[in-house]
Amino acid sequence: MTAPTGWIPVALSSEIEAGASAGAVVDGREVVVWRDTSGVAHAWEDRCPHRGMRMSFGFVRGDHIACLYHGWQYDTAGQCRYIPAHPDLDVPQTIKVPTYATKEANGIIWSTLSDAVADEATPGETAEVTPLRSLYVDCPAAFIRETLESASMPGFTEPEGETIFAAVADSVWTLTTGEDRLYIGVQPVNPSQTALHVVIAGPQATYAGAGQAHFSTWLETLRRSLEDGAPEEATSAPMTTAEVA
């Protein structure tokens, strides 16, 4: 599997509230996704330079995120600003967490996992979205894609109808039945696990409540059948470097 490039989805926007942080893993790389209290989302390397603690275990205070271990605080540029054990210290510029280019589009938080902004736009921009959910599946992305290519998803506005799968990009798939369309951001976690960040491409007036429950239930069923049918190697632990060699 090649490492994804361009904009990678790391969370649903609605899942990261202001002042909250969460961990995400993209191809084995640990990322902290957090939102400052002014509402701006950030994605960084999930590692405090002090003792290597995951920043996603920490907590957000205003526009700073603080490490759980010793409370070192970093500003939105990843620069350490405050060390509680040395309150009067002017913190050296070298104490910095690598930050990644981050943006929000289609109800999803995206990152390039580098400081470079991707050239291309987020694939398949859609006007109105209704958040659905993130679905974590113990299957490789390729196997999920294969299954979705022939999946039949009952519609909400019209139950009957053919389901059409489209891969807008490596990291974006859509599933359409009649008027209803799911927009799926694909985050490969490791060779055997994938996160799907799913929104409904349509107005909340139509889908909020019953429509969301309809597709969420279908996704739960999908996860069950994917994991039951996953190829043998897909359900085992990720391969180590030694096994690959």
Partner 1 sequence: MSAIMLYDYELDEHCYRVRLLLTMLGLEWEPHAIDMVPGEEEKQPHMLALNPLGRLPVLKDGDLVLHGTEALLTYIAKTYDGAKTWLPDDNADFGRVMMWLNFSCSVLGAASQARLQSLFGTTGVDAPLKEASRNAFRIMDDHMTKRGYENGLWFVGDHVTLADLALFPAFALSRDYGVDHDEFPALRRWIRRFRNLEKFTTMPGIPDYH
Residues that bind partner 1 (CB under 8 A): 11-12, 15, 17, 20, 22-25, 56-57, 59, 68, 71, 133-134, 136, 195, 208-210, 212-213, 216, 220
Residues 6+ apart with CB under 8 A from 205: none
Q: Tell me how far, at minimum, the Cβ of 193 lies from partner 1, in Å.
A: 9
Q: Tell me how far, at minimum, the Cβ of 56 lies from partner 1, in Å.
A: 8
Contact 235, 227 (CB under 8 A): yes
Distance between start and end Cα atoms, the chain: 15
- Sign (positive or negative) of CA dihedral 121, 123, 129, 134: negative
Q: Which is nearer to partner 1, 136 or 164 (CB)?
A: 136
Q: Which is nearer to partner 1, 125 or 227 (CB)?
A: 227
- Sign (positive or negative) of CA dihedral 29, 126, 226, 232: negative
Q: Which is nearer to partner 1, 137 or 153 (CB)?
A: 137
Q: Which is nearer to partner 1, 162 or 238 (CB)?
A: 238
Q: Which is nearer to partner 1, 6 or 23 (CB)?
A: 23
Q: Tell me how far, at minimum, the Cβ of 131 lies from partner 1, in Å.
A: 9
User: Which bin fits 106, alpha (ψ -120 to 50), beta or left (φ > 0)?
Assistant: left
Q: Tell me how far, at minimum, the Cβ of 109 lies from partner 1, in Å.
A: 12
Q: Tell me how far, at minimum, the Cβ of 157 lies from partner 1, in Å.
A: 17
- Sign (positive or negative) of CA dihedral 100, 194, 17, 91: negative
